[in-house]
């Protein structure tokens, strides 16, 4: 790789990889393999931008690169002039809840809203500003008040749940801009992010009667997708990672309610009831296929997500809702290690820390330590290689061959968790218990 890499991007990439997490920027410098899967998601994004909809379940083993893949897809969506929302599910962030957890997921996703000019997130204010500015221009051109121009533009949102309140909040934002009232603008953005927990508080600040609450999250996402298209963007892609947190819920009722909401979203997409909106959900094979606690435990989802019976013996079908991440091949990993070496050198070939023969030697070392898992779930392999190069960089003159024998690499296995949800985690919700020998 001869491309020069900015010092900031280099440090961001290496710090993230050394910690075993995915860097927010610079993914193009280290992306390898999975061209077919990326191509399938790019077609989904193009369909969203064309007014269609899509929903994908990206399934891969723990440490196989799901989060990296999801971030890459998100960046491609931004390049296609889409708005992206992303959030990780957690015990306090779910698709469905009654105690604020669903609203928490919505708030986190909207806080992370990104556009091509603001890929780091926090783009809600600029999207609203862009919409209001266009309304001001439209009002001046037609000789009508700005509030009338806002109402006219948002007329098609009235058919959506909460559409009337959207118009009221956006007019409040415009008034805040006109009057220099930063508190009013902040209140409007706070309402759009779903951060009001009581209707009374929202009515006092904005004179609106409703708020985005647990029961409105999916409808609010559909409304937001329609709004960003009115603001001039191609569509909206929502990325939810760590879906396995739903699988970990101890309460069977809570799991089923979340799966019911996922079914509603999937049905809408498959039937073409939404436009300009896509979902990409990342999870483990257990989250999908466990017939007791996973998506397959919900019969309606199992029938819709069942794999193509003809896609066997190495054949793949990338057209269905479920996209299984294929393992990186040893050749892919070889290219990845080469890319990481180039990142360390900032793209300067004369500054490479190890020669070409170090890559197969390192891969052989990993294979001897943990077997073929070193390229099926490559997170710890990459982490060890970054740490290996870091020692060579900080200790000039060190022999890489002698150092390699002391590098420990461990198989990437998710630690078991105990009762993460805090809701209904008492005994008796599930008639069976997990037993691991």
Here the CATH number for the domain that contains residue 89 is 3.40.50.300
Shared-domain flag, residues 313 and 349: no
Shared-domain flag, residues 112 and 250: yes
**Is 223 among the domain residues?**
no
Shared-domain flag, residues 289 and 362: no
Shared-domain flag, residues 53 and 87: yes
Contact present, 77 and 119 (Cβ < 8 Å): no
Shared-domain flag, residues 303 and 178: no
**Is 186 among the domain residues?**
yes
Shared-domain flag, residues 131 and 181: yes
Residue 381: give the domain boundaries: 330-404
**Is 390 among the domain residues?**
yes
Per-position pLDDT tens, the chain of length 437: 456 788 888 888 889 888 888 887 788 888 887 888 999 999 999 999 999 999 999 998 877 788 889 999 999 999 999 999 999 999 999 999 999 999 999 999 999 999 999 998 999 999 999 999 999 999 999 999 999 999 999 898 887 777 888 889 999 999 999 999 999 999 999 999 999 999 999 999 999 999 999 999 999 999 999 999 999 999 999 999 999 999 999 999 999 999 999 999 999 999 999 999 999 999 999 999 999 999 999 999 999 998 877 877 777 778 889 999 877 788 888 899 999 999 988 888 888 989 999 998 888 888 777 666 665 667 778 888 898 899 989 988 888 888 887 666 665 555 554 444 444 443 344 444 444 54
Q: How many domains would you assign to the chain?
A: 3
**Is 221 among the domain residues?**
no
Tell me which of 265, 297, 324 is where a domain ends: 324
Shared-domain flag, residues 177 and 194: yes
**Is 158 among the domain residues?**
yes
Shared-domain flag, residues 339 and 397: yes
Tell me which of 161, 186, 214 is where a domain ends: 214
**Is 174 among the domain residues?**
yes
Tell me which of 298, 324, 350 is where a domain ends: 324
**Is 17 among the domain residues?**
no
**Is 76 among the domain residues?**
yes
Shared-domain flag, residues 76 and 102: yes
Shared-domain flag, residues 260 and 299: yes
Shared-domain flag, residues 293 and 357: no
Shared-domain flag, residues 110 and 252: yes
């Amino acid at each position: 790789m001869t491309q020069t890499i900015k010092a900031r991007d280099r440090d961001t990439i290496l710090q993230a990889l050394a910690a075993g997490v995915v860097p927010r920027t610079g993914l193009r410098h280290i992306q390898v393999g999975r061209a077919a899967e990326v191509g399938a998601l790019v077609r989904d994004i193009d369909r969203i931008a064309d007014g269609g909809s899509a929903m994908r379940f990206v399934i891969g083993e723990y440490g196989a690169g799901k989060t990296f893949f999801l971030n890459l897809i998100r960046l491609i969506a931004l390049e296609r002039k889409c708005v992206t929302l992303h959030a990780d599910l957690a015990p306090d962030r779910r698709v469905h809840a009654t105690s604020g957890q669903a609203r928490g997921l919505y708030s986190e996703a909207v806080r992370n809203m990104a556009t091509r000019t603001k890929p780091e997130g926090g783009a809600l204010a600029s999207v609203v500003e862009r919409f209001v500015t266009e309304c001001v221009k439209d009002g001046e051109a037609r000789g009508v008040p700005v509030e009338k121009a806002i109402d006219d533009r948002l007329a098609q949102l009235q058919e959506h749940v909460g559409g009337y309140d959207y118009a009221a909040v956006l007019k409040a934002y415009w008034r805040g801009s006109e009057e220099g009232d930063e508190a009013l603008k902040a209140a409007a953005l706070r309402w759009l992010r779903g951060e009001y927990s009581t209707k009374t508080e929202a009515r006092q600040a904005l004179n609106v009667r409703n708020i985005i609450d647990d029961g409105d999250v999916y409808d609010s996402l559909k409304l937001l997708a329609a709004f960003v298209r009115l603001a001039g963007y191609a569509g909206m892609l929502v990325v939810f990672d760590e879906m396995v947190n739903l699988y970990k819920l101890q309460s069977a009722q809570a799991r089923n309610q979340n799966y019911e909401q996922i079914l509603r979203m999937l049905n809408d997409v498959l039937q073409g009831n939404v436009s300009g909106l896509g979902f990409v959900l990342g999870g483990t094979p257990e989250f999908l296929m466990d017939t007791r606690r996973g998506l397959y435990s919900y019969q309606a989802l199992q029938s819709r997500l069942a794999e193509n019976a003809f896609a066997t013996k190495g054949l793949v079908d990338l057209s269905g809702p479920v996209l299984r991440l294929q393992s990186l091949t040893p050749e892919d990993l070889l290219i990845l290690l080469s890319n990481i070496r180039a990142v360390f050198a900032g793209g300067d070939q004369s500054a490479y820390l190890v020669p070409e023969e170090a890559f197969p030697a390192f891969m052989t070392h990993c294979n001897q330590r943990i077997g073929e898992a070193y390229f099926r779930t490559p997170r710890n392999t990459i982490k060890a290689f970054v740490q290996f190069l870091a020692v060579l960089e900080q200790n000039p003159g060190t022999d890489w061959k002698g150092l390699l024998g002391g590098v420990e690499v461990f198989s990437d296995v998710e630690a078991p968790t105990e009762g993460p949800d805090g809701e209904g985690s008492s005994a008796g919700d599930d008639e069976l218990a997990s037993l691991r020998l």
